[in-house]
């Protein structure tokens, strides 16, 4: 018999992988056992998992094999953080390329690839992923859940989310995060758009995971929580998850149906570009979810502000009931305003007026929320810690973002600024200041728990804050100003008259990028410091 | 906390970010690395996307097209027959999807107009065709080198501004072979 070298290598690789798999499994089982208390070791999995999700848990890659809720949360947090850095680098890359009016180091197609990946990964990977992560991580301790079932389903849905993100990355789509047909179908020479169908499948995977996770959150909140916690005294973060979950379940499926129809259209165009159908049909189905997702990205951040603010001010939230009512009103109204993205698409004057009005009405619950925070700050004494700085910045950024949002909801003003950088500025204020800022604030608050009793370096943390907050303004204010003069968004090059705005924004983008790098360095550097404090944190309450 | 978790996290995130960035800006394998070159004049070519031939109603259903290097060819492609088509161009006399540097889908609504702009830098024989109908929709494109190719980048103003401004050196010569 002759010896096949390839076969030997192949066989031994498989053998090593199997052995490594076994070892990994036993290591993780060991780790899990070390976390469980004596009486829990023999308890059924549901109860053991519930115990695991209530204790203070460190960051660990073992979470990828365990399936209690806290582990699932850790998985989502790690993954979404990776998506944030991937999409962030794409964003900074675009910004730098826009230094010169003519496309510089990025060709238009490369620019479009980065634009699409940045938009999709930021919204679906980072905003959605970090919210799912914080939800899975915090809800079990906030609600002291009695049982933690459905671990396998949670785990599968996490993998849907991760694979969906990978499909988005590998698709190199150029269709932007809307995936409008027929743009989705254009094949370009750099390979962009060649696999838009993969991006659509990725979005479907992520939305499936998001919907299932939302249902599980509702189950956790309404069925599994400790009886001693009454609905009327649940924490406001829990209420914000209730609002978010209902919003997701009631709007994401519409967009998923549309995505499925577009995938079919790629093979045989009958739905949105057939002889008697309209491309507007897709736009309507997309924005039915496209607007709610932006509120999905902020409502949990509102919940975090409500949760953390009292701890740094020393007074309870000014008005709990109006906080709950405002969150639920935000949920209801944000389902009714999607048409404000289509003011220039020919829905008709009557519809435009209706959506304009509903968009103005959203300002009411937003304002209730903001005034509630301000009243809370007013009633106490501010302790200016790092998370508190993120909170104050988030409030300011939300006010600016909200005002720009209400401005562009005027049909007339919208005709001016639609498709310009004004819109980009509007949502970066909120997505950077509120969504991203509060996610970082939560990570800083949870840092001692994540690392088992270590303190983050507060000088580097402050630098991270100043670069993030400052960079946001330096990047978005020129966008808003230029946008009002008509600086178009989503282009790889632009007219020379806008160069000063674009250059200022490029500087802001680089500042932002450096800031996030400092966050990462701080995280790793501080994790190697000696243990000095308890591993408790104010977000999960001192008593467990 | 495990000793290697923080470094592993750091490395995973950095490598993922840098690696995907490189992947995003890399030209994808399979497609040629050709790019549209600079140009100093434009030329419009109209073709009809029809399963029976690119110009089915004429005497030459698949005309041989002549053009020069450094001329921006503006292909105006009009959907005619409710079938999906692609407009695909690759170098050489034969159809080859893996060498195609232009591959654009034409939506199946009759009357839809798709514009494809390209300027060739090297002369030669190219094939234009439809991936869905490679038997009936295929023709040749012959690019000759332009005599006075100046390399200065030129700004082409829109010819349809409607304010009477005319564009320099717009040439319409979609020759047909007899
Ligand atoms: C006070 C509430 C708000 C109002 C009235 C509002 C209004 C609007 C309007 C009218 C547009 C469309 C602009 C255009 O394309 O012409 C828009 C776009 C957008 N808004 Fe808001 N907005 C509000 C809050 C938010 C929040 C809280 C977020 C995110 C966290 C957000 C994120 C976005 C995004 C991402 C877009 C652009 C989507 C795209 O075209 O890519 N908005 N907003
Ligand atoms: C790290 C800092 C960031 C930088 C430097 C950045 C930069 C950019 C740039 C340059 C664009 C393209 C503008 C255009 O050509 O129209 C953009 C678009 C966008 N960004 Fe960001 N961004 C950052 C953070 C974020 C975050 C945190 C989010 C969301 C959570 C986000 C969501 C979006 C979305 C949804 C778009 C629109 C994409 C589209 O038009 O299809 N960005 N950003
Ligand atoms: Cu909206």
User: Residue B105: is its pLDDT beyond 90?
Assistant: no
User: Residue B30: is its pLDDT beyond 60?
Assistant: no
- Name A361's Cβ contacts closer than 8 Å, sequence gap at least 6: A333
From A290, A426, A472, the mutation candidate for ligand 1 (largest count of ligand atoms within 8 A of CB) is A426
* Mean pLDDT within B152-175: 33
Architecture of domain B41-175: Sandwich (2.60)
Helix axes A128-143, A151-171, angle to 10 degrees: 160
CA dist., res. A396 & res. A391, Å (int): 9
| Cβ atoms within 10 Å of B175's Cβ, excluding its own | 11
* Mean pLDDT within B43-67: 88
Backbone angles phi, psi at A232, to 5 degrees: -75, -5
User: Residue B58 has what pLDDT?
Assistant: 79
User: Residue A33 has what pLDDT?
Assistant: 86
Which residue has a Cα nearest atom 36 of ligand 1?
A: A427
Residue A254, phi-psi category: left (phi > 0), alpha (psi -120 to 50), beta (remainder): alpha
Which of B7, B12, B28 lies at the smallest CB-CB distance from A194? B28
Sign of the torsion angle spanned by Cα atoms A414, A177, A250, A72: negative
User: Residue A268 has what pLDDT?
Assistant: 74
* Mean pLDDT within B97-110: 79
Ligand 1 centre distance from Cα of residue A407 (Å): 10
Question: Which run of H or of E encompasses A83?
Answer: helix A69-97
| Partner residues linked to B66 by β-bridges | B142
Is the full-model pTM beyond 0.90? no
User: Residue B174: is its pLDDT beyond 80?
Assistant: no
Report which of A74, A48, A179 is spatially closest to residue A450, judged by C-alpha positions.
A74
Tell how far CA B107 is from the center of its chain.
16
User: Residue B149: is its pLDDT beyond 70?
Assistant: no
User: Residue A481: is its pLDDT beyond 70?
Assistant: yes
Nearest CA-CA distance, residue B43 and chain A, Å: 21
Which residue has a Cα nearest atom 7 of ligand 1?
A: A405
Which residue has a Cα nearest atom 18 of ligand 2?
A: A119
What is the pLDDT of chain A when averaged over all its residues?
91
User: Residue B153 has what pLDDT?
Assistant: 38
| Cβ atoms within 10 Å of B33's Cβ, excluding its own | 8
User: Residue A454: is its pLDDT beyond 60?
Assistant: yes
Give the alpha-carbon dihedral of A204, A166, B132, B103, to 10 degrees: 120
Ligand 3 centre distance from Cα of residue A356 (Å): 11
CA dist., res. A396 & res. A400, Å (int): 6
- The predicted-structure confidence for A10-19, as pLDDT tens digits, reads as follows 999 999 999 9
User: Residue B159 has what pLDDT?
Assistant: 33
What is the pLDDT of chain B when averaged over all its residues?
76
- Name A277's Cβ contacts closer than 8 Å, sequence gap at least 6: A270, A271
Confidence of residue B34 (pLDDT cuts 50, 70, 90): low
- The predicted-structure confidence for A153-177, as pLDDT tens digits, reads as follows 999 999 999 999 999 999 888 889 9
Higher pLDDT, A124 or B153: A124
* Domains defined along chain A, listed by start: 68-415 (1.20.210.10)
- The predicted-structure confidence for A368-377, as pLDDT tens digits, reads as follows 999 999 999 9
Higher pLDDT, B34 or A436: A436
Q: What is the DSSP letter of B136?
A: T
CA dist., res. A181 & res. A175, Å (int): 9
Question: Which stretch, A118-127, B44-53, B55-64, has highest mean pLDDT?
Answer: A118-127
Confidence of residue A407 (pLDDT cuts 50, 70, 90): very high
- The structure tokens listed for A266 are 């790629």
Q: Which atom of ligand 2 is nearest to the CA of A471?
A: 2
- The predicted-structure confidence for A267-320, as pLDDT tens digits, reads as follows 777 888 766 677 889 999 999 999 999 999 999 999 999 999 999 999 999 999
* Mean pLDDT within A319-329: 95
Q: What is the CA radius of gyration of chain B?
A: 21
User: Residue A5 has what pLDDT?
Assistant: 82
Nearest CA-CA distance, residue A339 and chain B, Å: 26
- The predicted-structure confidence for A183-220, as pLDDT tens digits, reads as follows 787 655 455 666 888 999 999 999 999 999 999 999 99
Among A12-16, A37-41, A126-130, the range scoring the smallest mean pLDDT is A37-41
User: Residue B161: is its pLDDT beyond 70?
Assistant: no
The domain limits of chain B are: 41-175
Which of A81, A268, A451 lies at the smallest CB-CB distance from B13? A81
* Mean pLDDT within A520-541: 90
Decide if A189 and B31 are in contact by the 8 Å CB cutoff.
yes
Which residue has a Cα nearest atom 23 of ligand 1?
A: A405
From A84, A91, A291, the mutation candidate for ligand 2 (largest count of ligand atoms within 8 A of CB) is A91
Backbone angles phi, psi at B26, to 5 degrees: -80, 145
Question: Does the CB of B24 have a partner CB in chain A at under 8 Å?
Answer: yes
């Amino acid at each position: 018999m002759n010896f096949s070298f390839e076969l030997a290598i192949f066989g031994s690789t498989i053998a090593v992988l199997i052995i490594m798999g076994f070892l990994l499994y036993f290591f993780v089982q060991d780790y899990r056992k070390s976390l469980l208390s004596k009486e829990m070791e023999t308890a059924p999995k549901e109860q053991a998992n519930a115990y695991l999700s209530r204790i203070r848990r460190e960051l660990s890659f073992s979470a990828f094999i365990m399936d209690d809720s806290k582990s699932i949360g850790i998985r989502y947090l790690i993954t979404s953080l990776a998506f944030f850095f991937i999409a962030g680098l794409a964003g900074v890359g675009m910004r730098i390329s826009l230094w010169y009016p003519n496309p510089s180091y990025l060709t238009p197609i490369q620019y479009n690839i980065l634009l699409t990946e940045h938009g999709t990964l930021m919204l679906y990977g980072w905003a959605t992923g970090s919210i799912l992560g914080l939800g899975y991580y915090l809800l079990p301790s906030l609600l002291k859940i009695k049982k933690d079932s459905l671990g396998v389903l949670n785990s599968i849905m996490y993998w849907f989310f991760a694979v969906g993100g990978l499909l988005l990355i590998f698709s190199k789509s150029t269709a932007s995060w809307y995936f409008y047909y027929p743009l989705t179908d254009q094949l370009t020479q750099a390979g962009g758009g060649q696999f838009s169908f993969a991006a659509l499948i990725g979005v479907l995977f992520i939305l499936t995971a998001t919907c299932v996770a939302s249902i599980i959150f509702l189950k956790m909140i309404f069925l599994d929580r400790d009886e001693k916690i009454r609905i009327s005294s649940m924490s406001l973060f829990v209420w914000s998850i209730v609002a978010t979950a209902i919003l997701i379940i009631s709007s994401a499926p519409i967009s998923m149906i549309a995505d499925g129809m577009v995938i079919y259209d790629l093979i045989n165009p009958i739905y949105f570009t057939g002889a008697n159908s309209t491309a507007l049909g897709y736009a309507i189905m997309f924005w039915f979810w496209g607007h709610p997702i932006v509120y999905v990205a902020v409502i949990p951040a509102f919940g975090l502000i409500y949760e953390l603010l009292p701890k740094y001010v020393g007074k309870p939230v000014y008005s709990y009931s109006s906080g709950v009512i405002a969150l639920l009103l935000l949920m209801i109204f944000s389902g009714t305003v999607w048409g404000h993205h289509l003011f220039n698409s020919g829905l008709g004057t009557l519809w435009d007026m209706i959506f304009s009005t509903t968009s103005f009405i959203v300002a009411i619950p937003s304002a209730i929320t903001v005034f509630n925070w301000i009243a809370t700050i007013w009633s106490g004494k501010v302790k200016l810690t790092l998370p508190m700085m993120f909170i104050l910045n988030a409030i300011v950024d939300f006010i600016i973002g909200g005002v720009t949002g209400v401005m562009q909801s005027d049909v007339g003003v919208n005709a001016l600024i639609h498709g310009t950088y004004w819109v980009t500025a509007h949502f970066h204020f909120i997505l950077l200041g509120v969504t991203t800022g509060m996610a970082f604030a939560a990570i800083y608050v949870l840092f001692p728990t994540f690392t088992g009793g270590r303190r983050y370096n507060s000088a580097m943390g402050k630098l991270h804050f100043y670069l993030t907050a400052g960079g946001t303004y330096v990047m978005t204010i020129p966008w808003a100003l230029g946008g009002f003069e008509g600086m178009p968004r989503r282009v790889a090059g632009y007219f020379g008259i806008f160069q000063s705005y674009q250059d200022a924004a490029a500087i802001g983008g680089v500042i932002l990028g450096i800031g996030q790098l400092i966050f990462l360095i701080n995280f790793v550097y501080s994790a190697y410091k000696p243990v000095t404090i308890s591993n408790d944190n104010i977000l999960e309450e001192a008593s467990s | 906390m495990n000793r290697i978790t923080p470094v592993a996290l750091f490395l995973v995130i950095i490598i993922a970010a840098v690696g995907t960035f490189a992947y995003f800006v890399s030209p994808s394998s399979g497609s040629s690395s050709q790019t549209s070159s600079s140009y100093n004049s434009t030329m419009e070519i109209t073709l009809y996307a029809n399963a029976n031939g690119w110009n089915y109603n004429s005497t030459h259903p698949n005309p041989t097209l002549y053009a020069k290097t450094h001329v921006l060819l503006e292909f105006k492609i009009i959907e005619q027959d409710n079938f999906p088509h692609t407009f695909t161009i690759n170098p050489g006399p034969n159809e080859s999807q893996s060498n195609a540097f232009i591959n654009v889908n034409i939506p199946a609504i009759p009357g839809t107009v798709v514009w494809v702009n390209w300027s060739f830098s090297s002369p030669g024989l190219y094939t234009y065709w439809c991936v869905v109908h490679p038997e009936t929709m295929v023709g040749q494109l012959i690019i000759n080198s332009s005599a006075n190719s100046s390399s200065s980048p030129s700004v082409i103003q829109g010819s349809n501004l409607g304010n009477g401004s005319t564009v320099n050196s717009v040439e319409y010569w979609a020759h047909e072979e007899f």
